[in-house]
Amino acid sequence: MADTAARTVVRTRTRDSYAASGRRHPLVATVMVLPLAALLVVVFGGWEAVVTQASSVGVMLGR
């Protein structure tokens, strides 16, 4: 029983030390998000939407 309690304390300390930092390196966050962003662009045709919007803004600025 004492062994279990000791391991629980160790795990809690590990989580607390990670949570205390509370920050993730920006490159790590970027690498985590890029696959999902790429999937959304392909599935929803995001690239064409960006090009269309940029074209519309270009036309409005040209007037």
Is residue 45 one of the residues assigned to a domain? yes
Whether residue 11 lies inside any domain: the answer is no
Give the closest residue to 54 by CA, choosing from 40, 34, 37, 46.
Answer: 46
| Structural domain boundaries, residue 62 | 25-63
In order along its 63 residues, the chain shows pLDDT tens digits of 566 665 665 555 555 555 556 788 889 988 988 898 888 888 887 778 877 888 898 888 885
Is there a domain that residue 16 lies in? no
Domain count of the fold of the chain: 1
Distance of CA 30 to the CA centre of its chain: 6
